[in-house]
Structure 1
Amino acid sequence: MRNALITALVAAAALLTPTPVPAAHAAPSPGSIDDYMARVLHDTGMPGVSVVVTEGDRVVHAAGYGEDSAGAPVTADTPMRIASVSKSFTAMAVMTLVEDGRIALDEPVADQLPGFTMADPRFAGVTVRHLLNQTSGFSDTTIDVTGLETATSLADYAGKLAEGALAADPGARYEYCNVNYDLAARLVEVASGRTFADYLDERVFGPLGMTRSTVTAGDVRPADGFNSVFGVWVSRPELPGFLDSSGAGGVVTTAADLGRWLISQAGHGEQLVSPEGLRAMHTSSTVDDYAMGWIPGVGPDGVAELVHPGNLFTYSAVQAVLPDTGQGFAVLANNASLQDDTYDVLHGLIALARGREPDPVGGGRQAFELVLGLVAAAALGLAVLGVRRSGRWARRRRGTPAWRVVARFVPLLAPAAVLAAYPDLVSVLMNGRAVTWAQLTYFAVPLTITIVVVALAGAAVAVARLLRLRSTED
């Protein structure tokens, strides 16, 4: 995400005037992609993943690898949740309505969405562009995003924003918040007079031939995904929440379908909006790199790219378009863990497309979770030893000043304090994004287990020593 504005303008110009692909950027062969992905699955241990590579107006290769939670082979047609990659589809739906004259990009949302209100009067200045650029002022810190997960429809979702507030003036700063795109999806419904799902089918999925894509459960239902628990992949249902019809993360699609989408986003094939509309979607805002469901930037090879990742709690995905070559890439994985390998896999595919040997992918998850497991095991062992020796410890403290004895308990109880503040600490690390206990038992489950074990181990030793101190005093 460097030199974002310049990169975005260069990317936009490339989209408007596609150029031939230089020989050094020749498309990788399907066989080379299959060989690379075989190494990826071996090294990462991911249960299942699908990928697609496009160039110009054709799909170079779309394929799946590994298995889903039902034991079925993953293919290019296996439905996967793509989480926040969905935002680019929502932005496209909005832009089609902008070009139809039914949504005004730079007019207030409140003027175009009857009934939309918030406790903070600044909401009246939030425009549609602010939503798509994530510069509205909406924030997980000032809106009850956990409560929003109980919404039963986009209309219900918008109504639940009535008590919310802004964290900044509209347009003043960027802050990633899913509310922006769920509200944009509701705006699509009101402006079009159709459900968000129906509108996507008619104006986005349908024209592109994305027949196995949806934002409702329906018939295109993905299998349960996986979480890594100390190196072992465990199948789990997706964490309950507002997913059906969500504009922020509700799309379910396939690698094959995403190939059609990437071709269009690279300025080839079927076009859903004008070149100017596509350029607007790919251009950063005036305050941050983030564009409209895409992030212009520069990849590891120093090549301009448009990307967007997506992470749910049992699925992850990432997509990219290279404006200078007209190539597109996407990686969809039926798993989520502390180590997300999809971004590295994506850039391995890009390296192949540029005639370079991809860097190795994998090993980080296994090594990190092994360390966490060893820490948890060591904490249990030390706790057993500490409890057994608590009597001896107490006898040695006879006559010791009380403040020194109390000081001895601080290291034992510090992990419990970390555990109590755990969701808030993770939220800080995620730039203020709301984090719940339930979420921390999914992708972060090895870390969560380790923190709980260390906290309980310290507390057990502290209680044993306190009881022994009291008995020696008696």
Structure 2
Amino acid sequence: MGAREAAPSVGPDQAYEAVDDFVREQLAEMGLPGAAVVVVKDGVPVHSAAFGRADDSGRPMTADTPVLLASATKSLTTVAVLQQVEAGRLRLDEPVQTYLPWFTLRDSRASQITVRHLLHQASGMAARDTAFEGSFAQGPEALEEGVRALAGSPLAGAPGEAFGYANANFNILGLLVQTVSGQPFGDYIRQEVFEPLGMTNSHPTRAAARADGAAAGHSRWFGSFWQQTEVPAPTTGMPSATMYASANDLGQELIMLLDEGQYRDRRLLEPGSVRTMLEPGVQVDGSKMYAMGWFTRPLVESVPPAESAGGAGGDLPLLAEHQGEWGNSHTYLAMVPSSGLGLALVINANDTSAPSRLKAIDTNILRILHSQEPVPAVVHEDWLQQYSWAVALALLLAELLSLWLALRVLLSGPHANAGRKRLLVVGLAALALDAFALWLCFIYAPARFDTNSAVIIRQFPDVGVMLVPVLGLALLWSLPRTVLLLLKSRSGRTMPTSSMRADSESQHSL
């Protein structure tokens, strides 16, 4: 049975008005600073709107305001890679080491990783072992340095075996483009992608984006208020997560892809390359798959929730989408090739404790565009992610209490036997607290969220401001505290003997 066409059944103007009303409602309800949305259809932009503010100065958000794309960046890198494939400089099934002979990981199977594996997020690398988000590097050499730094990373599985999302896959792809094209990746993207598409408010670097009035990012602090927040956007991650673009510019990218590589009088890709890009390549979960820089799944938003839950996915149009999640921005790109519909949404904020709330905005806009009512957001994140700030606060208070107790004991007078027991209890309890904090931050949470502690600190700024002193106390104070408590215990142990000798001598002198 052929795929159902996914065109809105209500009038376009009514649908776009409903989208704007919904976005305004979400901004008011959630307190979001700003957003911009663009809809394209049949090769032209049909709707563009912006809401709220770009930064704390009150500067209005516009559809031309650059926003940090996060992982929505990957679709742009895919275009660059396929351009080089068309030029014959890259081959999809050629190993990475053909182009980067020095490329290696802490696993001999790294020699089997191909360009296609990277595009399909199936290289075997894991996000937590290859994260770069804690870096601040901005220089043009940072991209190669970041890829070379992967040499100590393990593989979580065999290349091509299964889906495993890792920004490193696309950072390597960016370096491949840089290597075979003979020019810095940022220059290539600007000249071969942004300029032909007329993406005048898109930039490969943070400095260029800021010079063009980029929106300031915001994070939700302590689950209660939005704060303008600086989060690293290093050049190391340019091909995977740290480029900037406006909503209008993203609409132009969507028009090109929906027209199979053609944009006005310029052809950026051949139709076969676009079809290859959007062909599902590896299973993610359920009906969701990963193509090349795009997730694909049935467009369940085109039917009532009860019908989509009833297993009608095989009869629904294909949706290609990609969200971008950073510590202080949220972006979304979506295409329905069968109907020529494209959607771009940028929000200059993110709630890392519950990003599903913002993801619900993405899917509800799709629902509205397909004549369906929006549905309430369902928070999917577990308690540790939702209340990570509270856990970090509890750890900080516990560490400060432990510090106070230890100092109080250390600064007190000599101890008898009961006092020495108190020293032992304080010392062991403090060590247990330190061990728990280190286990939670370096072992449990990284494994739970498939990342590392540096990324947690940088991408969860409200958590980071409390975890840094917690880790400082647990790592730097635990050893001197233990030594001082032991010395105090030893000095206290000799005191009763000295006192007894002094009393004995006093009695003899009488």
* CA distance in structure 2 between the partners assigned to 1:316 and 1:181 by the alignment: 19
Tell me which residue corresponds to 2:507. none
Tell me which residue corresponds to 2:269. 273
Matched, 1:339 2:354: yes
Give the letter for the 2:228 counterpart.
S
* CA distance in structure 2 between the partners assigned to 1:147 and 1:362 by the alignment: 30
Tell me which residue corresponds to 2:477. none
**In the TM superposition, what is the alpha-carbon distance from 1:145 to its structure 2 partner?**
4.6
Higher radius of gyration, 1 or 2: 2
Q: Look up the SS of the partner of 2:252 in the other structure.
A: helix
Which whole-Å deviations, capped at 9, do the CAs of 1:424-445 have from their partners, x for residues lacking one?
A: 32221223x3331xx4345434
Contact 2:40-2:251 at 8 Å conserved across structures: yes
Alignment partner of 2:27 out of 15, 18, 41? 41
Tell me which residue corresponds to 1:290. 290
Tell me which residue corresponds to 1:236. 229
CA 1:143–1:319 in 2, change beyond 3 Å: closer, same or farther? Answer: closer
CA 1:370–1:192 in 2, change beyond 3 Å: closer, same or farther? Answer: closer
What are the residue-to-residue correspondences of 1:72-471 with 2, within 5 Å? Answer: 72-118=59-105, 120-140=107-127, 143=130, 145=132, 150=137, 152-221=141-210, 222-230=214-222, 231-239=224-232, 241-243=234-236, 246-267=238-259, 270=263, 272-286=268-282, 288=284, 289-301=289-301, 302=308, 303=316, 304-337=318-351, 338-340=353-355, 341-360=357-376, 417-421=435-439, 422-431=441-450, 433-436=451-454, 439-447=455-463
* CA distance in structure 2 between the partners assigned to 1:217 and 1:369 by the alignment: 29
Q: Look up the SS of the partner of 1:213 in the other structure.
A: coil
* CA distance in structure 1 between the partners assigned to 2:153 and 2:114 by the alignment: 17
Worse-superposed segment, 135-144 or 338-347: 135-144
Which whole-Å deviations, capped at 9, do the CAs of 1:15-68 have from their partners, x for residues lacking one?
A: xxx968363695754432221111011111111122222222122222221112
**In the TM superposition, what is the alpha-carbon distance from 1:310 to its structure 2 partner?**
1.3
* CA distance in structure 1 between the partners assigned to 2:469 and 2:102 by the alignment: 48
Worse-superposed segment, 349-358 or 281-290: 281-290
- Structure 2 stretches lacking a partner, 5+ long: 302-307, 309-315, 409-416, 473-480, 497-510
- Higher relative CO (Cα under 8 Å, sequence separation at least 6) belongs to 1
Contact 2:194-2:202 at 8 Å conserved across structures: yes
Contact 2:282-2:291 at 8 Å conserved across structures: no
**In the TM superposition, what is the alpha-carbon distance from 1:178 to its structure 2 partner?**
1.4
**In the TM superposition, what is the alpha-carbon distance from 1:297 to its structure 2 partner?**
1.5
**In the TM superposition, what is the alpha-carbon distance from 1:200 to its structure 2 partner?**
1.6
The count of corresponding residues between Structure 1 and Structure 2 is: 441
**In the TM superposition, what is the alpha-carbon distance from 1:89 to its structure 2 partner?**
0.8
* CA distance in structure 1 between the partners assigned to 2:119 and 2:66 by the alignment: 26
Q: Normalising by structure 2, what TM-score?
A: 0.72
Q: Look up the SS of the partner of 1:234 in the other structure.
A: strand
Which whole-Å deviations, capped at 9, do the CAs of 1:177-205 have from their partners, x for residues lacking one?
A: 11111110111112222221222223222
CA 1:425–1:300 in 2, change beyond 3 Å: closer, same or farther? Answer: farther
Q: Normalising by structure 1, what TM-score?
A: 0.77
Contact 1:369-1:446 at 8 Å conserved across structures: no
CA 1:325–1:378 in 2, change beyond 3 Å: closer, same or farther? Answer: same
Alignment partner of 1:57 out of 31, 43, 46? 43
* CA distance in structure 2 between the partners assigned to 1:96 and 1:277 by the alignment: 8
* CA distance in structure 2 between the partners assigned to 1:190 and 1:294 by the alignment: 24
**In the TM superposition, what is the alpha-carbon distance from 1:420 to its structure 2 partner?**
1.9
Contact 1:144-1:164 at 8 Å conserved across structures: no
Which whole-Å deviations, capped at 9, do the CAs of 1:92-139 have from their partners, x for residues lacking one?
A: 110111122221111111112354344533222211001111111223
Contact 2:295-2:320 at 8 Å conserved across structures: yes
- Structure 1 stretches lacking a partner, 5+ long: 1-9, 391-397, 457-462
Give the letter for the 1:64 counterpart.
A
CA 1:375–1:261 in 2, change beyond 3 Å: closer, same or farther? Answer: closer
Q: Look up the SS of the partner of 2:159 in the other structure.
A: coil
CA 1:370–1:317 in 2, change beyond 3 Å: closer, same or farther? Answer: same
CA 1:429–1:300 in 2, change beyond 3 Å: closer, same or farther? Answer: farther
Give the letter for the 2:437 counterpart.
L
Which whole-Å deviations, capped at 9, do the CAs of 1:424-469 have from their partners, x for residues lacking one?
A: 32221223x3331xx434543445678899999xxxxxx9xx9xxx
Worse-superposed segment, 195-204 or 79-88: 195-204
Q: Look up the SS of the partner of 1:248 in the other structure.
A: coil
Worse-superposed segment, 75-84 or 184-193: 184-193
Q: Look up the SS of the partner of 2:103 in the other structure.
A: coil
* CA distance in structure 2 between the partners assigned to 1:378 and 1:419 by the alignment: 7
Give the letter for the 1:291 counterpart.
A
Worse-superposed segment, 294-303 or 248-257: 294-303
Q: Percent identity?
A: 28
Contact 2:321-2:334 at 8 Å conserved across structures: yes
* CA distance in structure 2 between the partners assigned to 1:298 and 1:413 by the alignment: 52
Tell me which residue corresponds to 1:394. none
Q: Look up the SS of the partner of 2:91 in the other structure.
A: coil
* CA distance in structure 1 between the partners assigned to 2:244 and 2:136 by the alignment: 18
Q: Look up the SS of the partner of 1:207 in the other structure.
A: coil
* CA distance in structure 1 between the partners assigned to 2:64 and 2:236 by the alignment: 21
Q: Look up the SS of the partner of 2:196 in the other structure.
A: helix
Q: Look up the SS of the partner of 1:335 in the other structure.
A: coil
**RMSD, matched Cα:** 4.4
